[in-house]
Amino acid sequence: MLGLQFGRSMLRRTTVFYLRQFSCSRCISKELSSPSNRMLMRAKVSHKVSWSVIRRTLASQSKKSQERKGPVTWKSLLITLGLGGVLLAGFKFAQKQKELELEKERNRSLGKAAIGGPFSLVDHDGNPKSNEDYLGKWVLLYFGFTHCPDICPDELEKMIAAVKKVNASPNLMEVVPLFITIDPERDTPAVIKDYVNEFFEGLIGLTGTTKQVNEVAKSFRVYHSQGPKDDDNDYIVDHTIIMYLMSPEGDFMDYYGQNKTDEEIAGGIASHIRKYKKLNGL
């Protein structure tokens, strides 16, 4: 009995549920079937589609614009590099010109040092010579005397070795070696000629009166002092042991003491010549 009642109750509930569902479906169908509602739905769908199309179009145009007008192109890169190269070259050129002017000014200041000056002497052939005869040439100058037992020969050999090294280079300028005596009493042109020919045929010996020799020694700040004479009327002359490098303008450029080797002297001379050629565009 109870089972029959329960079955009837469930049948009624199921019937009511499906009737309600059917009723709701009909209501919805009516609402959708009305003209105004159909237009509203179409408008809503159309609105959503329109905005979707617009967004896709804008995104596509933005992507094309970025591809067409990128931040860096080959043309803009080449133009930038070209302008940068021109500016860099101009800067380097201006910097180089400034360095050359500064170097010229330093050389002019060095050339004004109170070392060297005009002189009037005679060479080992008896020909009058002055400082003007050596303008336009590099000169390596040494003061000594022909009766010097060892120091002068050693220094002259070193000087000639350095000069030969420099003159052997095709990229450098020729250097003229000069030997000026500080003992004019004994060092006549004939004596000096025999002496310099023992070292190098290009070595030029210069002498003069005692006054002339003293003046040129003083202009180069060369100390020299004659020692006492012995029974054979022989004597030693104490003197400064220095080589002087003079530029083609006759300006003092450098000096080399007894402690310098021929390699060091040749290297120093070559360095000065290279700087000189660079500054003067040679």
Can you give the pLDDT of all 282 residues of the chain as single tens digits? 444 454 455 545 544 444 454 444 444 344 444 444 444 444 444 444 445 555 665 556 555 555 554 555 777 767 777 777 777 776 666 666 666 566 556 555 554 567 999 999 999 999 999 999 999 999 999 999 999 999 999 999 999 999 999 999 999 999 999 999 999 999 999 999 999 999 999 999 999 999 999 999 999 999 999 999 888 889 999 999 999 999 999 999 999 999 999 999 999 999 999 999 999 888
Residue 16 is predicted with a pLDDT of 46
* Cβ atoms of 222 and 115 closer than 8 Å: no
What is the pLDDT, as a whole number, of residue 163? 97
Residues forming a β-bridge with 255: 244
Parallel/antiparallel/unpaired status of strands 242-246 and 138-144: antiparallel
| Model pLDDT, residue 158 | 97
* Angle CA 112–113–116, to nearest 5: 100
Residue 122's DSSP bridge partners are 128, 207
Residue 41: predicted pLDDT: 45
Cα separation of 163 and 63, whole Å?
75
Backbone angles phi, psi at 205, to 5 degrees: -100, 140
pLDDT of residue 145: 97
The residues facing 207 across adjacent strands are: 122
The identity of residue 279, as a single letter, is: L
Residue 206's closest CA among 151, 139, 130? 130
- Token couple for 215: 């003046």
Cβ neighbour number for residue 13 with a 10 Å cutoff: 9
Question: Which of these, 282, 243, 279, 278, lies nearest to 264 by C-alpha position?
Answer: 243
